[in-house]
Amino acid sequence: MIEKIYAEEFEERVLKAEHPVLVDFYADWCGPCKMLAPVLEELEDKNDDYTFLKLNIDENEDMAEEYEVYSIPCVVIFRKGEAVARSLGFKPAEQMQAFIDNA
């Protein structure tokens, strides 16, 4: 299960991480977010070099605004404190894995 984080943890868990971090910006009411969740959980098991985290935009509106998350689901990959890749909307496992591989 992908761990849920909050804004106050973001800097330590994401921006200061030594390895790549995939953050799923989502909302509980979002249908495509619910569809993407099991895909990301499956990929979490296959990508040991990544940390997978999720952040609820309704509970962390400032973080969503700071990272320009205006549509969800929005998956952002961070490396060394920088957002290096972004994926919007639901994508099946193969496309999400390609997104991770190309980030």
Host domain of residue 37: 3-102
pLDDT at 25: 98
pLDDT at 91: 97
pLDDT at 24: 98
- CATH code at position 28: 3.40.30.10
Backbone angles phi, psi at 78, to 5 degrees: -115, 135
Answer for the pair 55, 4: CB distance below 8 angstroms, yes or no.
yes
pLDDT in tens, 43-80: 999 999 999 999 999 999 999 999 999 999 999 999 99
Starting from the edge strand earliest in sequence, which strands make up the sheet with 82-88, in order?
Answer: 3-5, 51-56, 21-26, 74-79, 82-88
Among the listed residues 5, 22, 23, 30, the single catalytic one is 30
Q: Structurally, how many domains does the chain consist of?
A: 1
pLDDT at 55: 98
pLDDT at 45: 93
pLDDT at 8: 96
Judge whether 33 counts as a catalytic residue: yes
Among the listed residues 23, 33, 53, 74, the single catalytic one is 33
Q: How far is residue 82's CA from residue 2's CA, in Å, rounded to a whole number?
A: 21
pLDDT in tens, 3-22: 999 999 999 999 999 999 99
pLDDT at 11: 96
